[in-house]
Amino acid sequence: MLQALADGILTGSIIALGAIGLTLTMGILRFANFAHAELITWGAYMALGTLAITGAFAGPIAPFSFGVPLIFATLIAAVLTAALALLIDYLVFRPLRSHTNHMTVVFASFGVSLLVRMAILLIFGGSAEYYSNELQIAIRVMPGLRVMPDHVFTLGLSIVIVVVLHLFLQKTRLGLSMRALAENPDLVRINGIDTRIVVRWTWVIGAALATVSGVLYGLTVQLRPEIGFQLLLPLFAAAILGGVGNVFGAVVGGLIVGLAESLSVLFVPAGYKMAVPFFILLAVLYVRPSGIFGGLRGGAK
């Protein structure tokens, strides 16, 4: 049970980072971006490509399985993923937002997700990849609980990112503008705030979080082109469970989804755990469609 709880918290922290980017997009841009999950895959593979070029011969930092090159590669991958997100918005989403209805943009995001996934398959192939071949021995914390150093790093980094993002949204001018745009777009425009800048930074922040989520997922499991597809339903379940546009809600939702997936293995075969987010999503939509912490009103909190 303790091991399942630890694994669930680890998985939930990774889902939470991806769900934060998704909930910001849904809260500020007002559409469900199904391509966000593929940005997670893209970011993870961009880090792999950068690592292959710049850090293939650098050793890890004990006791972790990775070293400085992976950190550097993650930063480069975040920039490349943000550039892709901005390009997609410029070519696809922005023209559609101004000329078509909400559902057209949602369906367009399906097409974009398929294009991104096929591009990854074309460039990197379909076989599993790893950031490092270093072997790690799990540390025995207490009876029935073992953790990897990489897992501790993943959880710690997730906590730091969430705290920094919360302070950014609460204390900075840009963060306050993002919250205001999610709350009342018309009032923001009347007050002279350039919404185009806010939208661009929404994409950049969402893409950066997607990259970190993808790298951490690949670090704890493995890299495969279907990462985005596997995380798509958990991401939406976490975002909707916490309340669309609510950052803290996305974190809580991600942890709930991760724990539910992990604990379900104790009662049902592991092959069925991917269905758990679906049942959670149905339950939330039935009982409280606005999520635990509310919905679009007061978004990006």
Using CA atoms, how far residue 99 sits from 8, 23, 231, in Å, is 42, 23, 30
- pLDDT tens for 142-167 read 777 778 888 888 889 999 999 999 89
Between helix 149-171 and helix 173-183 the angle, nearest 10°, is: 80
pLDDT number for residue 5:
85
pLDDT band at 296 (very low <50, low <70, confident <90, very high): very low
Residue 299 has pLDDT above 50, yes or no: no
Average pLDDT of the chain is: 84
**Better pLDDT: 294 or 68:** 68
DSSP structural state of residue 274? G
pTM, two decimal places: 0.89
- pLDDT surpassing 90 at residue 248: no
Q: Which residue has the tokens 């940005």?
A: 39
Quickly tell me which residue has 């205001």 as its tokens: 180
Is residue 300 scored above 60 in pLDDT? no
Most confident of 3-17, 76-90, 163-177: 76-90
| Strand partners of residue 23 | none
pLDDT score of 128: 85
113 Cβ contact list (under 8 Å, min separation 6): 34, 35, 37, 38, 228
Q: How confident is the model at residue 61 (pLDDT cuts 50, 70, 90)?
A: confident
Is residue 63 reached through a cis peptide bond, with omega within 30 degrees of 0 on the bond before it? yes
Identify the pLDDT of residue 83. 96
* Cα(300)–Cα(198) distance, integer angstroms: 12
pLDDT at 57: 54
